[in-house]
């Protein structure tokens, strides 16, 4: 009696004899599995996997977010984004958003932001006013470091609530108003 094992890229079949001593029969079991690997960035910004970062990558990112049934990972269009494309297109490591498409466009057009000197700080929401919120650093005491922020800059689409904590990446410049305003916000999302 022998045991057989067959494996290809998606199935494994084993054939084993039964324990019956009067007759020998074989039981075959087939296992189905999918082999996947976590994608690593092959070229930052190359969402369409054509070997370069260009405007087509920014367009594909926006298409995949706006019309995921057609251009998302499981989209029906032949040119839909892949898991590798999503990994390459995620410019800030926070998941694929329109901010990534914007960052690709800025780099292509050589619009410089001082990302090397960007500051990331946690801010707590203290008040909500129409389309703006008031925030202060989580380590701040009192009301001397209050900032006014438009809710339109919140990248993750969350709805702010009093005492919510947001991680803000900005250029470190403060506009001298009261409440203060951030010079330039690169990213703002729930912490």
Q: Select the more confidently predicted residue: 36 or 56.
A: 56
Supply the pTM of this predicted model.
0.44
Residue carrying the six token digits 């910004």? 45
Q: Average the pLDDT over 48-74 and give the result.
A: 94
CB atoms within 10 A of CB 49: 16
Q: Is the pLDDT of residue 132 over 70?
A: yes
Residue of 137, 145, 149, 152 lying closest to 182 (CA atoms)? 149
In terms of Cβ atoms closer than 10 Å to its own Cβ (0-12, 13-18, 19+), residue 53 is: buried
6 pLDDT more than 80: no
> How sure is the predictor about 12, in pLDDT bands with cuts at 50, 70 and 90?
low
Enclosing H/E stretch for 63:
helix 55-66
Contact 32, 11 (CB under 8 A): yes
* pLDDT band at residue 117 using 50, 70 and 90 as cut-offs: confident
């Amino acid at each position: 009696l022998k045991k057989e094992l067959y494996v290809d890229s998606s199935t494994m079949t084993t054939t084993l004899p039964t324990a019956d001593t009067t007759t020998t029969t074989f039981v075959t079991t087939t296992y189905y599995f999918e082999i996947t690997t976590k994608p690593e960035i092959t070229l930052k910004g190359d969402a369409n996997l054509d070997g370069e970062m260009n405007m087509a990558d920014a367009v594909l990112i926006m298409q995949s977010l706006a019309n995921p049934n057609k251009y998302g990972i499981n989209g029906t269009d032949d040119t839909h984004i892949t898991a590798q494309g999503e990994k390459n297109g995620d410019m800030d490591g926070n998941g694929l958003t329109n901010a990534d498409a914007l960052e690709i466009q800025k780099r292509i057009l050589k619009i410089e932001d001082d990302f090397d000197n960007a500051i990331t700080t946690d801010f707590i929401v203290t008040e909500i006013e129409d389309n703006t919120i008031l925030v202060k650093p989580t380590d701040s005491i009192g009301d001397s470091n209050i900032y006014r922020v438009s809710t339109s800059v919140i990248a993750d689409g969350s709805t702010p609530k009093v005492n919510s904590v947001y991680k803000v990446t900005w250029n470190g410049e403060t506009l001298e108003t009261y409440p203060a305003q951030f010079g330039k916000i690169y990213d703002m999302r729930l912490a």
